[in-house]
Chain A
Amino acid sequence: MKKVSLVIIALIVLLAGHGYAQEVKKYIYNPGKIKPTDSVMRVKPGDKAEDFTLPSLSGEKISLSQFQNKKNVVISFVPAAWTPVCSAQWPGYNLLDDIFKENDAVLLGITVDNIPTLYAWTTAMGGVNFPVLSDFWPHGKVAQQFGLLRRDGVSERAIVVIDKKGTIRYAEAYDINVRPPADIIIGQLKKINQEK
């Protein structure tokens, strides 16, 4: 009897793992190929970054200005939770934590989704190890501030790098259908660090 119970428990554990793997894929919505970019950037390298404050998944509010003179900031804007490219972008950034540390930088992930949606999505992805900020209300205000809000209400897939002085060092909206390589983030951070 004990043996049978152990086998059943082992099977449940294994099947639960299987279920987890299938669940995330099952709930990803594929919008198909969409217009690569659909906004006009309002910022460029050399500009001072305007401050913003957004609620984060951890419950605290995060402001850009809190990192001034302390950390370089990389912002990863992704269009929306539960979409294919975004779901195959942020989990990779979990592996960059040492690189961020070495370069005295923090990563902020921003989408226009609300907190409950971001919670469900990031949990399904196994969690992310950087702050995730919700630009839900006023809808896409921060994305708009950078000129990254598309006409359909989602943000561009963009990377913005801001140095400790609050100066924008890099700002680029990528083809929304394609994940930008991590090389871009790493290259920009190294460039800032080499100037020391």
Chain B
Amino acid sequence: MAVVLNGCAGVDYSVRKDVRPIINFTLSMPDKSSEIDYLGLDKNSRFFKLSQIDSPAVLIEVFSMYCIYCQQAAPQVNELYRLIGKNGLTDKIKVIGIGTGNSHQEAEIFKDKFAVPFPLFPDFREGVSTVLKVNSTPTFVLLSVRGRYIRTICRYEGKFFNAEQFLGEINRAMAKEKL
């Protein structure tokens, strides 16, 4: 059951908690070795499971190259990634993007155009987006990937305007989960 936790006046997203476990889905290994290192993965594998990412929480942005809101949100999402690093939270939260309905080339075009500093993965057949129950883009899903089940800590639907404020929301949600 989805529960509305809180929202901020004038901010274009809603914050929800979803207690249902998420299937531990598999992704192809990133092309860049720096991104493999960032996620703490084994370089010799071709695929990895979400739970193998080396952090207690993973923030997933489900985006599409074709979505104007995702394009508009890109600079703030990049800023969020930068703030996570600046605040020494990289070991706690890793950020990845899932390009719903996008081919590998389309996800790469989005990455190049907006200089996205975190790994993006194509989801051409929308399998991962279905697992994450995504209906619109961008959707941000903060997952706890430690413990018995992968579960959603928070979902954020829509673009956000202020990365610092958004990180505050993430930190509060993480603190509630003692992560």
- Can you list 22 residue pairs at the A/B interface with Cβ under 8 Å? A11-B10, A14-B9, A17-B161, A18-B11, A21-B12, A24-B68, A88-B64, A88-B67, A91-B66, A91-B68, A91-B71, A92-B65, A92-B66, A94-B71, A95-B65, A95-B109, A98-B113, A99-B109, A125-B68, A181-B105, A182-B109, A183-B105
Beyond the given A25-B136, A181-B106, could you list 14 further A-B residue pairs with CB under 8 A, ordered by the A residue number? A11-B10, A14-B11, A17-B161, A21-B158, A21-B159, A88-B66, A91-B66, A92-B65, A95-B71, A95-B109, A98-B113, A99-B109, A125-B68, A126-B71
* Contact A126 B72, CB 8 Å, known A21-B158, A182-B103, A186-B105: yes
Does B110 belong to the interface (CB within 8 Å)? yes
Question: Which of chain A's residues 139-196 have a Cβ closer than 8 Å to chain B?
Answer: 179, 181-183, 186
* Alpha-carbon distance between A125 and B70 when the two chains are bound, in angstroms: 12
* Contact A96 B68, CB 8 Å, known A14-B161, A21-B158: no
Nearest CB in chain B: distance from A28 CB, A: 12
* Alpha-carbon distance between A88 and B105 when the two chains are bound, in angstroms: 17
Point out the residues of chain B lying under 8 angstroms from A181, CB to CB.
102-103, 105-106, 124
Does A15 belong to the interface (CB within 8 Å)? yes
* Alpha-carbon distance between A22 and B99 when the two chains are bound, in angstroms: 21
6 A-B pairs closest in CB distance = A92-B66, A14-B10, A18-B12, A91-B68, A126-B68, A181-B103
Identity of the chain B residue whose Cβ is nearest the Cβ of A99 in the assembled complex: B109
Whether A17 and B105, one on each chain, are in contact in the complex, defined by CB atoms closer than 8 angstroms, is: no
**Main SS class of interface, A:** helix
Number of A-B contacts (CB under 8 A): 62
- What total of chain A residues lie within 8 Å of the partner, measured CB to CB? 25
Query: Which residues of B does A touch, CB under 8 Å?
Result: 9-12, 64-69, 71-72, 101-103, 105-106, 109-110, 113, 124, 136, 158-159, 161
Nearest CB in chain A: distance from B165 CB, A: 11
